[in-house]
């Protein structure tokens, strides 16, 4: 007898989708979709259920979503959910996709480390999560050396002003994730990394996965009076301007790192002496002053950096029942080895000249 399966998925900014089903001979059977969404015409719900019944239980979420879309009448209106959301819910019912509550979460509080070691830890910890040796983890960074962390695919010569780097003693490091350069003086921004199993974002496209993984931080910002939102693909902003950016890297071991830096109190004049990003990107937006691009959390929240870090940590812990943890000696030692063999080398830094 086929066992009954149950899955739930709350659409980011939308409604709850619920799927009850069973699997017989590897095929979906007796599928029932429900939720607090809106759907017109009513009969379209029968079309969704019929489209799913008989599909292979091993079909990826994209294939399930395509089958649902093909079965819907042309005049169907889905409000608060989508074919993709239903597919994700089915995958959760089948335990091929996971939700936040399916995992035990750890939080690592910020400790001051060399920037290259922070970057190396991203690679080490995502491998540990993928190998099952560490719980999915939120880690906050800290550092005390003026630094620039460039994206995995950025060109050193195109991103940096050598005179500014030398003038201010900037440590330049390349990270494993893509995206843009991060200008990081002590205390001027807030940086965190999430190390998670890819099952958490199963069925989500890249754009939606960014918003999904940062739902908790948008809630934390809202509790500080900051109404933040995502601008595709990876910018976090308010109506007063951009406050941060995210980047991701997915490993073949089934884990991924999701990395975010938000500006707290950046010296914008110094930033444009160090980075070449200013001129082209600012002219692209019709902006003459870098200060108009940087909209620090300090000004919008009126809170200290530590207070913001505490609020973010508390919000994550409350939402996902996360517990405080620490880096192990083995993880720190391995990260140091990778600084020496990779992240601290000229070969890695200049792999894109």
Amino acid 268: pLDDT:
87
Amino acid 296: pLDDT:
79
Residue % of the chain over a pLDDT of 70: 94
What residues contact residue 271 under an 8 Å CB cut-off, 6+ apart? 183, 278, 290, 294
The pair phi, psi for residue 81, each rounded to 5°, is: -160, 180
3 state SS of 289: coil
Look at residue 132 and tell me whether its pLDDT is greater than 80.
yes
Interval 253-312: pLDDT, tens? 999 999 999 999 999 889 999 999 655 555 544 444 555 446 579 999 999 999 999 999
Contact between 329 and 336 under an 8 Å Cβ cutoff? The reply is: no
- What is the residue-averaged pLDDT of the chain? 93
Look at residue 336 and tell me whether its pLDDT is greater than 60.
yes
Amino acid 53: pLDDT:
97
Amino acid 3: pLDDT:
73
Q: Mean of the pLDDT values across residues 128-153? A: 97
Amino acid 248: pLDDT:
97
Interval 203-245: pLDDT, tens? 998 899 999 999 999 999 999 999 999 999 899 999 988 899 9
Compute the distance between CA of residue 114 and CA of residue 141 in angstroms, rounded to an integer. Answer: 10
Amino acid 338: pLDDT:
98
Amino acid 181: pLDDT:
94
The CB-based long-range contact list for 225-228 (8 Å cut-off, 24+ gap) reads: 225/300, 225/301, 226/297, 226/300, 226/301
Q: Is the peptide bond before 99 cis (omega within 30 degrees of 0)?
A: no
Amino acid 353: pLDDT:
87
Q: Mean of the pLDDT values across residues 23-51? A: 96
Interval 59-110: pLDDT, tens? 999 999 999 999 999 999 999 999 999 999 999 999 989 999 999 999 999 9
The pair phi, psi for residue 59, each rounded to 5°, is: -65, 135
């Amino acid at each position: 007898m086929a066992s009954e399966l149950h899955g739930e998925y709350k659409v980011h900014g939308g409604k709850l989708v619920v799927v009850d089903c069973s699997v017989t001979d590897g095929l979906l059977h007796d599928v029932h979709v429900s939720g607090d969404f809106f759907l017109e015409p009513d009969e379209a719900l029968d079309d969704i259920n019929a489209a799913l019944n008989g599909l292979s239980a091993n079909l990826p979420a994209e294939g399930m979503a395509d089958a649902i879309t093909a079965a819907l009448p042309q005049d169907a209106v889905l409000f608060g959910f989508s074919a993709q959301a239903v597919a994700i819910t089915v995958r959760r019912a089948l335990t091929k996709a996971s939700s936040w509550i399916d995992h035990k979460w750890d939080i690592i509080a910020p400790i001051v480390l060399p920037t290259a070691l922070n970057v190396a830890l991203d690679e080490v910890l995502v491998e540990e999560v993928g190998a099952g040796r560490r719980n999915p983890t939120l880690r906050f960074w800290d550092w005390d050396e003026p630094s620039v962390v460039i994206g995995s695919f950025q060109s050193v010569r195109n991103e940096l002003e050598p005179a500014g780097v030398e003038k201010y003693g900037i440590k330049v490091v390349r990270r494993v994730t893509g995206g843009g350069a991060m200008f990081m003086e002590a205390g001027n921004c807030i940086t965190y990394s999430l190390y998670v199993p890819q099952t958490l974002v199963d069925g989500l496209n890249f754009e939606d996965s960014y918003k999904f993984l940062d739902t908790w931080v948008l809630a934390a910002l809202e509790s500080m009076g900051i109404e933040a939102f995502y601008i595709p693909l990876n910018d976090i902003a308010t109506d007063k301007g951009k406050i941060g950016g995210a980047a991701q890297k997915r490993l073949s071991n089934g884990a991924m790192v999701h990395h975010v830096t938000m500006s707290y109190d950046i010296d914008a004049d110094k930033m444009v002496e160090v980075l070449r990003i200013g001129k082209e990107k600012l002219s692209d937006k019709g902006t003459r002053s870098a200060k108009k691009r940087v909209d620090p959390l300090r000004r919008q929240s009126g809170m200290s950096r530590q207070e913001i870090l505490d609020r973010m940590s508390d919000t994550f812990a409350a939402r996902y029942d996360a517990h405080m943890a620490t880096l192990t000696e083995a993880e720190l030692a391995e990260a140091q080895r990778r600084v020496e063999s990779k992240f601290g080398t000229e070969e890695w830094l200049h792999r894109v000249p």
